[in-house]
Amino acid sequence: MPISLPCYNPHMPPEVPPRSSLPPGIAGDLMHRYSLQQQRRLARERLLLTSWRWRYALSHPPAPPAEQPVRTILLVERLLRWGDSLVAQPARRLIRQLYPEAHIVSLCLPASRPVVACDPAVAEILECPPAALLHQGKLIAELRSRHFDLAYVLVSDAVSLMLPWRAGIPRSIGYDFNGRGFALSEPRQPSPAANFPAWHSPPPMPVPHVTRLWADLVEPGAAIFPPSIALDEATRAKGEQVWSFAPPDAVRLIIHPGASSANYTWSPDHWRALGEILDKRFSNLAVLVTGSAAEREFVQETMRGWNFPHRIVAGELDFLTLAAAVAHAHATVGPDTSIGHIAAAVGTPAAVLFGPGDHRMWRPAGPAIVVRNNSECWGCKRPLCFQPFTMCTAMTTVEAMADAVEACLAGKARPPEAL
């Protein structure tokens, strides 16, 4: 029988616009260079996927999957970190509602295990460290031995989107990002805004929040509730103990200066200046500085010279204790990273610095105020900028962030209009 290869995702980024059609100055140069780079990267990716497409077409002739009861479900979320795993919580709960008797297994990073373990929708966790990609045969053999009936793929990389096929799972559902979902039995078309720079979807074009994007993968249009974290009394007490350095009447503020990419945050000088400005605005300020163990040196540089009560806990708190400490804070401040999503899950307002990330998709699902610079190239989603400094974050003023903190403390932070 003739072999028909699946077509590529029609939601491809538009052709590289001519330089004359882009904004003048550095911003337009960045947009043009990044568009060229993205087109080259996608072209290389298409070549790499070609052999896999032929292997899939030869071994799997087109045929609808047989109807069978769903007893075991694999949820592939192996690249999601703390904040991403929290945002995926409504999708997990929708899967549990659709299949109340199924055994749901999450394939996640070891670092994300504490977040996924808090979700009662998940019955079992399989850890997949990044090094497991070098030994995929062992992972595939384990997945095949489990005989899953259905797989949902939340992440967008080609390796993850091919896992259900390679694991012999008859039904697989995920988004067909850039033609990578050819091996899915039920590929879905993502929003054109997903995984592309924000200038491909300029306002007022509607852009779904990532919580809605992943929930629609399970059941389009279903009612969802924002992510939440259940904290027992013992954990809340541990979170209160973290604030033992703060005076009883202090304004408790968490500053989280680090991010997974330097492109997404300020320099230590900016964060240090923010602390000094807030100290002038609030006479009873107490700051808890959070971060990972790898960010501790960066965090220490941020705090240099502060004369108000503060404490550094970078790398010292587990996930639930950090969430409890956030629950006892009056507000959090940080870049587009996990701390804002944790704050949303426990109901604490957050002031969030956005630059390369698209705030329409990734702002916290709870009360928050987005602080960003209106540069033409905002939302490029690149981990590194072409310029010696990142315009979209470096040009966002410390005063604007301090105003956002004041607004959070005044109860003016709001959740997204719709999820």
Assess if CATH 3.40.50.300 describes domain 233-409: no
Q: Which among 230, 197, 270, 214 has a CA at the least distance from the CA of 117?
A: 230
Q: How, if at all, do strands 103-108 and 124-127 pair? A: parallel
Spatial separation of the C-alpha atoms in residues 260 and 334, rounded to whole Å: 12
* β-sheet bridge partners, residue 414: 368
What's the pLDDT band for 47 if we cut at 50, 70, 90? low
Q: Which two tokens stand for residue 287?
A: 């700051």
Task: Give the per-residue pLDDT at 251.
Answer: 97
Please provide the DSSP assignment of 31-43 as one string: HHHHHHHHHHHHH
- Which of 8-22, 160-174, 209-223 is the least confident region? 8-22
Q: What is the mean pLDDT of residues 58-70?
A: 62
Fold match, 68-218 / 233-409:
yes
Answer whether residue 58 shows pLDDT above 70: no
Please return the burial class of 7, using the count of CB atoms within 10 Å of its CB with bins 0-12, 13-18 and 19+.
Answer: exposed
Peptide bond into 13 cis (omega under 30): no
CA 196 to chain centre: 15
- C-alpha gyration radius of the chain: 22
Containing 269, the helix (H) or strand (E) segment is: helix 268-281
Spatial separation of the C-alpha atoms in residues 10 and 385, rounded to whole Å: 28
Phi, psi of 251 (to 5 degrees): -85, 110
Spatial separation of the C-alpha atoms in residues 308 and 272, rounded to whole Å: 12
Q: What is the mean pLDDT of residues 56-66?
A: 55
Fold type of domain 68-218 = Rossmann fold (3.40.50)
* β-sheet bridge partners, residue 75: 106, 152
- 368 close to 350: Cβ distance less than 8 angstroms: yes
pTM to 2 decimals? 0.86
- 227 close to 345: Cβ distance less than 8 angstroms: yes
CA 205 to chain centre: 21
Answer whether residue 86 shows pLDDT above 90: yes
Domain chopping of the chain, boundaries: 68-218, 233-409
Amino acid at 151: A
What's the pLDDT band for 402 if we cut at 50, 70, 90? very high
Q: Which two tokens stand for residue 190?
A: 């993502």
Gap between the terminal Cα atoms of the chain: 45
Q: Which among 358, 67, 393 has a CA at the least distance from the CA of 196?
A: 358
Please provide the DSSP assignment of 350-370 as one string: EEEEESSS-HHHHS-SSSEEE
Phi, psi of 36 (to 5 degrees): -65, -45
Task: Give the per-residue pLDDT at 134.
Answer: 57
Task: Give the per-residue pLDDT at 373.
Answer: 86
Helix, strand, coil fractions of the chain, as percent rounded to 5? 45, 15, 45
Task: Give the per-residue pLDDT at 300.
Answer: 93
- 339 close to 332: Cβ distance less than 8 angstroms: yes
- Which of 81-95, 371-385, 387-401 is the least confident region? 371-385
Three-state SS for 190? coil
Phi, psi of 44 (to 5 degrees): -65, -40
